[in-house]
Amino acid sequence: MITVPEGFGEGLGDGADAWVASLPKLATKACARWRLTPDGPLMNGFCAVVLPVRQADGHPAVLKLTWVDTETEHEPLALKIYDGDGAVLLLDHDAELGALLLERLDHTRSLLGEPIEVAVDVIGSLLRRHRRFEAPAEIHRFHSEVRDHPAVPGRLVDAAREVATRPMGSTLVNADLHYENVLRGDREPWLMIDPKPLAGDLERGVLPLLWNRFDEMDGRKGLTDRFLALCEAGELDVEKARDWTLYRAVTNWMWCLDEGDEGQAVICAEIAGWAARA
């Protein structure tokens, strides 16, 4: 049914090898359950494979098989809540197989390829629309531990810790909303995919929109300009968005250093310093 790309699943964690080996069987079971016919080459991201399919009535869709962990476990629930409002439509879900049947979008066209002004405007529209969605009790308010790190200035660590102590809202937040995760659709021009849901303040979702397409910004002025454009387009609280950006930049900086991702660590460091006005 499918051939999994070599190297897929590296870095996912314990049990990933067995899961990757089971993917052909899982795909076969899901196609049998939903009467799907493969309709294109297999695609993959970091933690999922996606197979274009045709449903029994001929309509196009995609079958997504996802590695289930704390970041991905509530993706189906979030998609049910969005119910296609600015997001890819969930057609069906099989928790046992880790399988999602989704409407098919144009994976060759994302906001990554659009002028940044257009991308920011689209993202802002999605943020405004999604402000009304409350996170259910199953979706948690997650904080990474703000620990000391020898390579991260203590003043930034302390500032991030202070942000983490503040009360949060209960909005359904996609913590991984960025330009590559918004694809061209037929039902709507642009639709969000792959939500990583959290409960909290919508402003918590700004950081990926700054580190993605980072090289297009001209220093801190460019960073400020994009940040303010995103806040205006999404009707976000500027100070709250800056504070959550600081918190996430610091914690992601530490993670990148520990994982040996020096390039991304440099970007996080720059954003953290900017957010702290350092």
Whether 83 is catalytic is: no
8 Å CB contact between 250 and 257: no
How far apart (Å, rounded) are the C-alpha atoms in residues 97 and 89? 19
**Best CA proximity match to 7, nearest among 33, 44, 42:** 44
CB-CB neighbours of 5 under 10 Å: 12
Strand 171-174 relative to strand 197-200, pairing: antiparallel
Among 94, 158, 176, 243, the active-site one is: 176
Q: Which residue has the tokens 């397409």?
A: 213
Residues taking part in catalysis: 176
